[in-house]
Structure 1
Amino acid sequence: MTLSIIGAGFGRTGTLSLKLALEQLGFGPCYHMNDVFSHPGHAQRWRDAFRDGDADWDDLLCGFASAVDWPPAHFWRQLAVRYPDARVILTVRDRDAWYDSIASTIFPAQRRPLPPPDDPHYAQLVMPRELILHGTFGQIEDKTHVLSIYDAHNAAVRAAIEPARLLEYDVKDGWAPLCAFLGVPVPDGPFPRSNTTQEFIDRLRKPGV
């Protein structure tokens, strides 16, 4: 199975909803941050990819037809080169709403204390911190800075990917633009909605998460 869809959008732009939608449309399985935690050893492999700037993508993403969210979105350039026939979806949303969401969810998770390096969950917890906090934003305390990184990332994707290969997509627009881009019929059922800010916060509050 070869990767046919590359999600280039940052987390908190509807990436889990997109994952579920792609799987419903037949473009799955779709890799997402959640899959890091269900695949032993993957967190360390993404850490290695971050350190090296590349990876054996065929092996790391073996069995997946699409990939969205961090960590794959961090490597959208490498993936776009490795899979030249894959289409790219840049999930976007209102920038202030995006900031409010990430500042209430992913950023607090990056501030939590880490376990010692010999803890079996260390790689899973430190990988997002290395990739998102240090590798993407540098610092997450200043809204203007964070939004500048968001804007620059989206602009870079638009500039690098030819228009026919790229869909800039807000999941609130539902099935129609996504299905038109992928050339598939619009399903009868509602577009999947998942991983709201409150759902994310509720997970963070669970002991051991």
Structure 2
Amino acid sequence: MKIIVAGFPKTGTKSMDEALTQLGYKVYGHTENLLILEKEWTKVFYEGATIEDFRKMYEDVDAVSDVPACYFWEEILWAFPDSKIIFMRRKNEDEWFNSLKNQIENFHKNFAIRLLKTTSPTQWRIEKNVASPTARLALGYVPPAIWSNNIRINEALAKKKYRAHNAHVLQNAPKDQLLIYNVSEGWEPLCAFLKVPVPNSPFPHKNVRGNISKEWLATDPLLIKMQREMYFSISAAAILLSYGIYKVVKNPPSAALSSGYTWLKDAFMNLLSKS
């Protein structure tokens, strides 16, 4: 481990992941932490973890960022005391919270993502074991039921968590290993801090204003895995439903259920006529 990105989500973490990747570092961001280290993070939240646990988690990784890792930046630093720390923050906490709120609402209202949460076993498990504990601990946010539109984000608590995290980093990170940075500054200060050449390409800017749902669904390895599970679940459900309808049509129920049978048969026949 060489680099710990200690900034909270919505401070430029996705852009930093891409920038570090372009500089040749192996980066574990939010997706890699959930997809590759799911069991390890489940242990952290439900059993606790030692410094040796964190060392094993990241011994073959160059850089780590985003939640849940950024919340545990200090423990990761204890495991890798020579790591450099990159700390990002927004101009003010209102700007940060509005960006966070926009992303949460954007994701929760996305039908495809809701469907994933309903049909993907991986999503169920990660949501329960890692994502929800992280949201509660780091952001003071309790995710709503999957199909509920009652999205309640505690602004006062979220801002308090943000302030406390930032203050802790600034107070406790070794000053000679710390870069206070904003992605709007581009390559120069980052590359100077890391002592690497400045690339010829423009500095990447990802997840601007939190509107990244479509891109993630198309490119994120974790979401792609969940989509495969979703397609399988939907296909299996469709086969079982079709078989059930077929059995009902072939073997009509008793007279006590005749009205329900008639409705089901008519609906099935209408569906066949439209296909």
Match of 1:177 in 2: 189
Match of 2:243 in 1: none
Task: Report the secondary structure of 1:121's partner residue.
Answer: helix
Match of 1:33 in 2: 30
Q: Which whole-Å CA distance do the structure 2 matches of 1:35 and 1:190 have between them?
A: 25
Match of 1:154 in 2: 166
- Structure 1, unaligned stretches of length 5 or more? none
Match of 1:101 in 2: 99
Task: Report the secondary structure of 1:12's partner residue.
Answer: coil
Q: Does 1:120 align with 2:122?
A: yes
In the superposition, the TM-score normalised over structure 1's length comes to 0.83
How many residue pairs get aligned? The number is 202
Could you list the runs of 4 or more consecutive aligned residues of structure 1 that deviate by over 3 angstroms after TM superposition? 106-116, 201-209
Q: Which whole-Å CA distance do the structure 2 matches of 1:169 and 1:53 have between them?
A: 31
Q: Which whole-Å CA distance do the structure 1 matches of 2:205 and 2:47 have between them?
A: 35
**Cα deviation per residue 1:16-71 (whole Å; 9 max; x = unaligned)?**
11111112223x111001213543xx223212112334252233224311101112
Q: Does 1:49 align with 2:44?
A: yes
In the superposition, the TM-score normalised over structure 2's length comes to 0.65
Query: 1:12 offset after TM fit, Å?
Result: 1.3
Q: Rg: which structure is higher?
A: 2
Contact 2:106 2:211 in 1 (8 A): no
Q: Which whole-Å CA distance do the structure 1 matches of 2:194 and 2:23 have between them?
A: 9
Q: Which whole-Å CA distance do the structure 2 matches of 1:201 and 1:71 have between them?
A: 20
Q: Does 1:196 align with 2:198?
A: no
Contact 2:100 2:210 in 1 (8 A): no
Query: 1:198 offset after TM fit, Å?
Result: 5.0
Query: 1:135 offset after TM fit, Å?
Result: 1.2
Task: Report the secondary structure of 1:13's partner residue.
Answer: coil
Match of 2:198 in 1: 186
Q: Does 1:59 align with 2:56?
A: yes
Q: Does 1:138 align with 2:135?
A: no
Query: 1:151 offset after TM fit, Å?
Result: 1.2
Q: Which whole-Å CA distance do the structure 2 matches of 1:22 and 1:204 have between them?
A: 19
Query: 1:83 offset after TM fit, Å?
Result: 0.5
Counterpart of 2:2 (choices 1, 4, 12) is 4
Task: Report the secondary structure of 2:212's partner residue.
Answer: helix
Task: Report the secondary structure of 1:192's partner residue.
Answer: coil
Work out which structure has the larger RCO, using CA pairs closer than 8 Å and 6 or more positions apart in sequence.
1
- Structure 2, unaligned stretches of length 5 or more? 142-151, 228-275
**Cα deviation per residue 1:128-180 (whole Å; 9 max; x = unaligned)?**
21112x21233463323311211111010011112111111111111121112
1:85–1:97 distance in 2 versus 1, CA, 3 Å:
same
Q: Higher mean Cα deviation, 198-207 or 58-67?
A: 198-207
Q: Which whole-Å CA distance do the structure 1 matches of 2:46 and 2:179 have between them?
A: 29
Say which structure is richer in helix.
2
RMSD (Å), alpha carbons:
2.8
Match of 2:249 in 1: none
In structure 2, what residue type is equivalent to 1:15? T
Identity of aligned residues (%): 29
Contact 1:90 1:167 in 2 (8 A): yes
Contact 1:19 1:32 in 2 (8 A): yes
Q: Which whole-Å CA distance do the structure 1 matches of 2:35 and 2:122 have between them?
A: 13
Within 5 Å, which residues of 2 pair with 1:67-86?
67-86=64-83
